Amino acid sequence: MTPAPPSRPLFSAERSAEVVTEAFRDTPDPRLRTVLTSLVAHLHAFAKEVALTQAELDTAIDFLTRTGHACTDVRQEFQLLSDVLGMSMLVDSLDHTGPGQASATESTVLGPFHMVDSPPRDLGESISLAEGGEPTLVTGQVLGADGTPLAGALVDVWQADEKGYYDVQRPGEVPDRNLRGLFTCDEEGRFRFRTILPAAYPIPDDGPVGQLLKATARHPYRPAHIHFIVGAQGHRPLTTHVFVAGSDYLDSDAVFGVKESLVLDFDEVREPERAAPYDLPVPFRHAHVEISLRVAEAHR
């Protein structure tokens, strides 16, 4: 009896990507088919380029397995892997192109520490609920792309403390929701809050991603920053940071999140008359943040 001809060519190293891609031929979702086809092509080309050995593939599978096992409700090691490989920032950039983007404030990574809701706070209130740190005032304004102030815009902020820890990393040691706040802008789109100057800090490096950084002689540090998510009706929400000018690691952020436009001066203010309206001691640091949002329709 003559065997039936194979419905697709048999696997060979030469035609590997073509054969595997063919197996995905009937994928009903066209976008999934496109993504998988390209992924297979690039993965196979990569393995051929570096002449990947069986031992190396085993090591990679073990690494990914340990990365999965390191994930918990409050830790996402795969997200961290994407961050240190620059994938998070690349996809963020790819997702922020098109009409209206040029005049909008630049975005950057969300990071893993927005894991709890920020408490609503009044304009001018302090988000610092613990002792210590350099008193700091952050003022700002949220604008539309045409420069119109966005009354009632929501500004969600969170940051590390003066030692580089988020509240969720020091449970029981600092008050719950320390250094987090949700502010509603006034009629002119303005916001203000008191805080402390954040410090640079290492990303969680006690898991597989930390081992990867060590094996590649990379440090785990991020420069000092304050996180923002800003939203206003009819506008695309913006996830970004403000980086402290002069901080260490601005040119070697472990997750590649720094953009020049996001680096701001936190000036030292010594005049008591500028401190009094905010009930701040002197000296204090002051940064002013202008945030421009894109209209929602303009993004793809």
How many residues comprise the chain?
300
| Minimum gap (Å) between residue 62 Cβ and ligand BEZ | 23
Stretch that binds Fe ion, among 107-115, 119-127, 182-190, 258-266 (CB under 5 A): 107-115
Indicate whether 111 belongs to the interface with Fe ion (CB under 5 A): yes
| Pairing state between β 135-143 and 190-196 | antiparallel
Minimum distance between the CB of residue 277 and Fe ion, rounded to whole angstroms? 29
Smallest gap, in angstroms, from Cβ of residue 286 to Fe ion? 21
Q: Give CA–CA dist 277/272, Å, rounded.
A: 9
Instruction: Identify which of residues 111 and 189 has a Cβ nearer to Fe ion in the complex.
Output: 111
Supply 133's token pair. Answer: 């740190």
Q: Evaluate whether 245 touches 258 at the Cβ level (below 8 Å).
A: no
CA angle 235, 177, 219 (to 5 degrees): 85
Q: Residue 50 Cβ, how far from Fe ion at the closest point, in Å?
A: 33
CB nearest ligand BEZ: which residue?
111
Binding site partner of 280, from ligand BEZ, Fe ion, none, Cβ cut-off 5-8 A by kind? none
Q: Are strands 135-143 and 284-292 parallel, antiparallel or unpaired?
A: parallel
Residue showing the smallest CB distance to Fe ion in the complex: 111
Q: Which is nearer to ligand BEZ, 255 or 269 (CB)?
A: 255
Residue 249 to residue 83: CA distance in whole angstroms? 16
> Is 221 within 8 Å of 200 (Cβ atoms)?
yes
> Would you tell me which residues interact with ligand BEZ (CB under 6 A)?
80, 83, 109, 111-113, 203, 222, 255
Residues that bind Fe ion (CB under 5 A): 111
